[in-house]
Every structure is written in C-alpha cells, then in structure tokens.
C-alpha cells in the first residue's frame, strides 16, 4: 500500500481529517504521520524557519524525518488552513525543502471546513499514480493501435494513435459522459477508417474516466494530472528534462512541474471561476463573441490598458462592461480579461510550484492566443503551445495505454 505522509496544521480542528483519509483510502493509499522526536529544536534549526504555531513546528519536524529518512513514505501531502498566512509560508517552504532533500512527489492543499474527499481525490490519485506507475509514465513512444479518451467538464475528446502518430481525433461537447464519448469515438474511428475491434488498447482520463473505462473495457483508467502531463511533453517534444505544464481548464486549472515527463509537483485550482476558462467564456458571451473570435481579438488588444478592479466573474466582468461604456475597444477589454485570468493564476497558483522552463500551455484555452500572450507576459517567457494542445489528455491516454499491449 502506498504511504502518503501527511504534514498538516489545523486539519483536526477543521474537522476534515476523515475526508483526507477517505480520499487516500479510495485510491488505495494510506495516510501516515512521520514519527518525530518530542524536541523540535534541531529540526527547526536545520530548516531555518521558526514558526510561532506549534502545529507548524510539528510539520517541520515531520518533514525533517522524511528528509533524514528516519521515516519512510512514498509521497507527501502538505496541508494547512486556507487564509493562514503563517501556514502558507511554511507550506511552500516545506515543499521546497522536501523537493531539495528527497525525491518524494509532493502535493499541497489549503483547506476549509467544507473540504470534501472528492476534492482531494484527484490529488491523492495523482500521487499514487506517480509512485505506482513510474515505469509506465516513463514510456515515450506509442506502439500499436490505441485510443485515448478524455472526458473533460466542457468537452470529450477521442484520439486514435498508430505507431507513435495521431491518425485521427475528434471532440464533442460533454453533455452526457457516455453519449458524448460515443459520438467522439464513432467520429474518430470514421476519420481513421477503422473499426472498434482494430483498437488494441484504450486509455481513459478526465472527470468521466471511470464510466468510460468501464464501458469501453479500458486497460488504463488514470487521472488527468499524470496523463495530461505525458500528453503535453509528447506533443511538445519535450520528453527529456524539466518543464512546467499549464492547463487552464473550464472548471479547474492544473500547473504541473515535470522531470523527464514524470510529474514531481503539481497544484490544482478550483476555488474561483474568475481564474478559469469559464471567466473568458462568460466575458466572450457578454461581448457577443464566439470564444475563438474572443481569443483572436484579445491578442490584438493592449494587455495593460483597461484597469481591472476585481478578478471576480461577476464584478470583474461588470468592470469590463463599464470599460466598454467608457470607450475602450473590444480588443483592449478582451485583452484585459485574459490578463485578469493570467494574473490570478500567477498570484494564486503558480506560487505553489517552482515554475520551470519551458512552460507548455495546453488544454482548450491554449488555443486562445490572447490568453497565451497574457501568460507569457506575466511569466516573461513565450509559452510553448504544441499542435493538438487541446487533445493532450486523449493523446496521453493513447500513449500510456499502449504499454498494456
């Protein structure tokens, strides 16, 4: 059983420990707490940051036990209360400390009393996958004929690959998980001039992965953090070395750092719609534009011209509408909306990982040129947007499941 070491403060008093353990249990892992000496002074001295809260001191001592290998674990969950400044500082510095001194995959989370196991599930599952399937994740070439299915919150994608090449791809809006997948699969097969029996292996990912995996008898059913990362480095031809994969989704955002295509740290947002693709979709609607048209327009506008007083989907968009009334162009307003999303992701999410270059921007929103430009402006780099970047999940699924042929 995979042992996930929990370094946390406030979890007991927030009443969420049961949810953490439930999420771990669901993915076949066990939460463990590193044994430490009752005298924390050495650990604090070694770490170099002396927090006032005893709970945080204990976290430091537990991290040192992992770094010193006096306690064995396979992965680490670092969690503190949402809004705790001291906790946020320690959380981030402990993550760096562990990444410097160990090879353990780390995931961080700031919780509220409303945190449920379902929110933690994908994070736990990704930790377990990284530990359990390291060999599979090292796969760099696709073999045989395989199909990847990515059942996302907004769209369902199907990709058929043969001998390391994409032979067909198709996407359909996610209306019903199965219904949308059936349409995408049928079209992908038609485009590939193949029949279902020709497919040697299927891999599913995304929110509907279990339903699709069960229906299509998939050989690989895997969460999207690891699958998307694999698809991203494959498509960007960056399978060796370091990279950061940024996937601004319709419902949540993922930022994953990888080494040789294997994630070692990741963060997922999902608290605010203002930092997701949904904000841009809503802005586009308010401007009377199709989303693709919005992306093109945003790329032509000035990023810093329109002042934004709020990142909120309600108040931020209200501000943008006011800007239109004040005479700003649609281009500048669309650019400001992209800047708003990029800024919020930078401020709230990318702070949780050490951004490594190149930055590979993927997912449907990577097709919005204005957003890619805004991300590049903030990160002072030009994000790599690979061809078929919206199909990373399906490509990753097709690539990885070929390991089961």
Partner 1 sequence: MKVFIYPPNSMILQDLVERFGHTPLALAKEIERRVNDPELDSPPMNITEIDVKVGLKYAAIEVPSGVRGRLAMFGPLIDEAEAAIIVNNFPSTFGCMACARTNELTIYLIKQKRVPTLELDYPTNEEEVEDFIARIKGFLEGLK
Residues in the site for partner 1, rule: CB under 8 A? 9-18, 38-40, 51-58, 80-84, 86-87, 111-114
Q: How far is the CB of 15 from partner 1 (least distance, A)?
A: 4
Q: How far is the CB of 270 from partner 1 (least distance, A)?
A: 17
Nearest residue (CB) to partner 1, 37 versus 198? 37
Output helix, strand, coil percentages for the chain, rounded to the nearest 5: 50, 20, 30
Nearest residue (CB) to partner 1, 46 versus 242? 46
Nearest residue (CB) to partner 1, 21 versus 296? 21
Nearest residue (CB) to partner 1, 78 versus 399? 78
Tell me which residue of 61, 94, 116, 121 sits closest to 352, measured CA to CA: 94
Q: How far apart are CA 389 and CA 312, in angstroms?
A: 27
**Local structure of 278: helix, strand or coil:** helix
Q: How far is the CB of 37 from partner 1 (least distance, A)?
A: 10
Neighbours of 128 (CB within 10 A): 23
16-25: list long-range contacts, CB under 8 Å, 24+ apart: 16/111, 16/113, 16/115, 19/115, 19/116, 19/117, 19/120, 20/77, 20/79, 20/117, 20/120, 22/117, 23/117, 23/118, 23/120, 23/121, 23/123, 23/124, 24/124
Phi, psi values for residue 19, rounded to 5°: -70, -40
Q: How far is the CB of 73 from partner 1 (least distance, A)?
A: 19
Tell me which residue of 287, 20, 242, 260 sits closest to 130, measured CA to CA: 260
Tell me which residue of 238, 242, 276 sits closest to 368, measured CA to CA: 276
Nearest residue (CB) to partner 1, 22 versus 215? 22
Q: How far is the CB of 56 from partner 1 (least distance, A)?
A: 8
Q: How far is the CB of 112 from partner 1 (least distance, A)?
A: 5
Q: How far is the CB of 286 from partner 1 (least distance, A)?
A: 30
Nearest residue (CB) to partner 1, 111 versus 294? 111
Nearest residue (CB) to partner 1, 113 versus 326? 113
């Amino acid at each position: 059983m995979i042992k996930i070491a929990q370094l946390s403060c406030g979890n007991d008093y927030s009443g969420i420990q049961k949810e953490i353990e439930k999420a771990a249990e669901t993915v076949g892992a066990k939460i463990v707490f590193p044994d430490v000496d009752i005298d924390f002074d050495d650990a604090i001295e070694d770490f170099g940051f002396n927090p006032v809260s005893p709970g945080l001191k204990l976290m430091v001592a537990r991290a040192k036990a992992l770094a010193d290998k006096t306690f064995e674990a396979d992965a680490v969950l670092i969690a503190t209360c949402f809004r705790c400044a001291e906790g946020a500082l320690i959380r981030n510095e402990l993550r760096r400390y562990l990444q410097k001194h160990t090879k353990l995959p780390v995931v961080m989370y700031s919780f509220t009393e409303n945190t449920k196991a379902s929110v933690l599930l994908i994070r736990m599952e990704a930790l377990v996958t990284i530990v359990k399937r390291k060999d599979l994740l090292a796969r760099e070439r696709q073999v045989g004929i395989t199909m990847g299915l990515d059942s996302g919150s907004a769209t369902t994608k199907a990709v058929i690959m043969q001998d390391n090449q994409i032979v067909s791809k198709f996407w359909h809006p996610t209306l019903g998980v199965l219904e949308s997948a059936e349409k995408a699969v049928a079209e992908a097969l038609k485009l590939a001039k193949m029949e279902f029996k020709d497919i040697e292996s299927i891999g599913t990912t995304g929110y509907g992965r279990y339903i699709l995996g069960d229906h299509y008898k998939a050989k690989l059913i895997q969460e999207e953090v690891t699958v998307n990362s694999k698809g991203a480095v494959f498509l960007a031809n960056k399978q060796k070395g370091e990279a950061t994969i940024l996937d601004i989704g319709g419902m949540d955002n993922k930022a994953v750092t990888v080494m040789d295509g294997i994630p070692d740290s990741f963060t997922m947002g999902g608290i605010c719609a203002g930092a997701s693709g949904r904000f841009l979709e809503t802005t586009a609607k308010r401007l009377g534009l199709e989303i693709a048209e919005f992306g093109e327009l945003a790329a032509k506008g000035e990023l810093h011209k329109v002042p934004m007083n709020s990142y909120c989907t309600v108040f931020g968009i209200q501000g943008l509408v006011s800007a239109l009334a004040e005479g700003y162009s649609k281009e500048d307003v669309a650019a400001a909306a992209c800047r708003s999303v990029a800024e919020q992701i930078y401020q709230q999410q990318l702070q949780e990982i050490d951004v490594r270059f190149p930055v590979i921007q993927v997912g449907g929103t990577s097709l919005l040129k204005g957003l890619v430009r805004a991300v590049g402006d903030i990160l002072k780099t030009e994000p790599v947007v690979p061809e078929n970047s919206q199909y990373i999940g399906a490509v990753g699924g097709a690539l990885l499941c070929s390991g089961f042929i």
